[in-house]
Every structure is written in C-alpha cells, then in structure tokens.
Amino acid sequence: MDKQRKILVVEDDSSIRQGIVDALKFHGYAVIEAKNGTIGAEMAVRADYDLLLLDLVLPHRDGLDILRELRTVRPAQPAILLTAKGDESDRVQGLKLGADDYVVKPFSLKELLARIEAVLRRSAERPSDVARVNLPSGYADLARSEIVFTDGTRTELSERENELLRYFAANSGRIIARDEILSRVWRINPTGVETRTIDMHIARLREKLRDDPENPRVLVTVRGKGYKFAVDAAVTTPVPGKK
C-alpha cells in the first residue's frame, strides 16, 4: 500500500487554512498545520512531511525567511508558496531561494491540488540529501561545508560549492549537463544563460577537492555533454528532523 503523503500548511488566515486542510484531507493527504511564522519555521525544519505549503505574509516571521532557513537544512524539501496577487517581487525571490512553485491568492482548490500533485511527482525523482561524500584524499562534510583531508587539513566550501558537490554526489556516475546544473543547483531557467560560470565553479571546486585539473578523478568532464562525479562513495544520512 502506498504511503500517505503528508502536507505541512503554514497559513495565518484561519478560514483559508481550514479550507486547504479540509480539501487536502478529502483527497487523501495527511495534514499538519501552523498558524504563524514562529511555529511554521520550527515545523518546517523539524517535522516529518512531504511538501510545504507556505504563505509569504505571516505574523512573527515571514515566509521568505522560513524558506531561506529551510533550504540550508533541507535543500531538497518540496515547497509551494501561497502569495498575494501583487507580490511579484516576492514570488521571484521565493523561486530564487528554491521554491518549487507558487499559487496566487485567491486560488481554486482544484488548481492548488494540481500543483501539489505535479510538485510531488517531480520530487520523487530527486536524489536523497547527501550529508557526507567520501573522496580519494579524505571526505566532504556537507553539514559543516568543509573538506577534511587524510593529512588533517581542512578546506571550507562556499554555499554554492556545497550545493554543487551535493548534487554531483547524489547523482554519482551519471553525466550531468550544464543546463541541468543551472536548473537544479542555481535554480534558474537555463535558456539563453551563459554556462561559463559553471565551468568556473567546477574549476574552483576541483582545486578544493585536490582533483588534478589535467587528469581529474572526481569531477570528470565529458566533452560535449557535461560533467560526471566519478567517485561512487557518497554517504547519505537522514535529513535533520526526518524519520
């Protein structure tokens, strides 16, 4: 029997929240809910759920702030924003922070349910979050954003380098195109975007990994196709708060 999917609804308007909760339960979802930003932030990073429905305008703590924190703890957690009609700049910012989709108020429950189903389908293809990556010369501790070498030295990773290494390790052995990296790691539409920035980040990451640029063993260039993480030694662990 398929596991019942659980939705976390963070919405301060009680009537809107109750309407969403009732509709989700009617369509077979389990639901947990929060009525303000403080409770919502705590549940977003610690509770066990499959998708977050997050209102942007909340008392105590706004939705963008919650999303920003969520992405540092659970980079792959599916999230849909609930926004007001005039909040275009906030929607754009939310998408840049890694939201999977947004729904503009007032919305129909039919539309909301369709978007939830679409995001959950896409999220099923996502790799597990990687906490540690074993390397020929040591390991990367992604929770601490650092590489620890066998000689005892350590090198810090930037936020982007951390995300990039996490994605490569979670897709170990698979050729990843530059457009996919832009879409999944940079979270931008790759159409018409110059991909040279990816090559520069790869070069810096190789340097930190002590991966010979002339004969790389970890991040391998596949000419005309993209890059491949060649070390099949990524260690996955549960995300904090997940069971």
Query: Is 111 or 185 the better-scoring residue by pLDDT?
Result: 111
The predicted pLDDT at position 238 comes to 42
Of 75-89, 125-139, 224-238, least confident by mean pLDDT is 224-238
Under the banding of pLDDT at 50, 70 and 90, the label for residue 46 is: confident
* Structural domains in the chain, sorted by start: 6-123 (3.40.50.2300), 130-236 (1.10.10.10)
Under the banding of pLDDT at 50, 70 and 90, the label for residue 235 is: low
Nearest-angstrom CA–CA distance, 13 and 16: 5
pLDDT tens digits, 79-106: 999 998 777 788 888 888 888 899 999 8
Cβ proximity of 212 and 230 under 8 Å: no
Cβ proximity of 213 and 206 under 8 Å: yes
